Chains A and B, each alone.
Chain A
Amino acid sequence: QSALTQPPSASGSPGQSVTISCTGTSSDVGGYNYVSWYQQHPGKAPKLMIYEVSKRPSGVPDRFSGSKSGNTASLTVSGLQAEDEADYYCSSYAGSNSVFGTGTKVTVL
């Protein structure tokens, strides 16, 4: 199972939006509506931000949204804030396994 492909980096100014892509195959992203996104600050455990493609857990700001088209999922962070600067990882169910994306470092300029 190969890692899902994400851009290494993305950036935006405060208040702007940034969108991160996550490309897999029909065996993972394209085959299931079980794509999730995680935010990780340095030295911390990952935090769930989006599950089942577009659902937000309680407590996650509605500035975070998710979508999927075919084999590619996306995370959009609107109204960027300084605290959004972090690494972001997508993940997908892939049958009996799960797989993570390569990770994207988001920088708030």
Chain B
Amino acid sequence: QVQLVQSGAEVKKPGSSVKVSCKASGGTFSSYAISWVRQAPGQGLEWMGRIIPILGIANYAQKFQGRVTITADKSTSTAYMELSSLRSEDTAVYYCARGLAAAAAFDYWGQGTLVTVSS
């Protein structure tokens, strides 16, 4: 059974960075895609980017280009999402989600990590 377990809630100051982790168990981590999706309070889902660990290549939504970095450590089956230059509008629950391929649907999701940006 595939499980994605994310790191805990974070409180950050505006202008700082946050790094959220997503540890996978079950399945073959390297061969599938991990996407990051965020949801601001009371808002919809927003795709941020994805990585395919076996390729080491990440794609990002244009909105987040230059501010987000998605990486993966195959040795620990863990994906990371780092978002910089944080502002209050980045307050959201951040989810990691697995897809069997870049185009595939997101069949397993992490439990979500609340990131609060506040001075």
Distance to closest chain A CB from B89 (angstroms) = 16
Interface of A is mostly: strand
Query: B106, A38: Cβ atoms under 8 Å?
Result: yes
Closest-CB distance, A32 to chain B (whole angstroms):
7
Interface size class of A (residues with CB under 8 A): 20 to 34
The DSSP consensus for interface residues of chain B is strand
- The answer to whether A100 and B46 touch (CB under 8 A), given A1-B62, A45-B111, is yes
CA distance A99 to B44 in the complex (A): 11
A7 at the interface (CB under 8 A from B): no
A40 to B104, CA, bound (A): 19
CB distance from A104 to the nearest CB of B (A): 10
Q: Which of B50, B107, B110 has a CB less than 8 Å from the CB of A98?
A: B50
Cβ 8 A contact of B105, one of A1, A91, A96, A101: A91
Chain A residues 24-67 with CB under 8 Å of chain B are 32, 34, 36, 38, 40, 45-48, 51-52, 57
Please, how many angstroms separate the alpha-carbon atoms of A102 and B106 in the complex? 17
CB contacts (< 8 Å) of B44 on chain A: these are: 3, 89, 100-103
User: Could you tell me which residues of chain B, from 38 to 69, have a CB within 8 Å of some CB in chain A?
Assistant: 44-47, 50, 59, 61-62
Contact A93 B62 (CB under 8 A): no
Within 8 A of A (CB), among B103-119: 103-107, 109-112
A51 to B97, CA, bound (A): 14
Task: Say whether B45 contacts A38, CB under 8 Å.
Answer: yes
In the complex, A34 Cα to B47 Cα: how many Å? 15
B107 touches A57 (CB 8 A): yes
A interface residues, Cβ below 8 angstroms from B: 1, 3, 32, 34, 36, 38, 40, 45-48, 51-52, 57, 89, 91, 93, 96-103
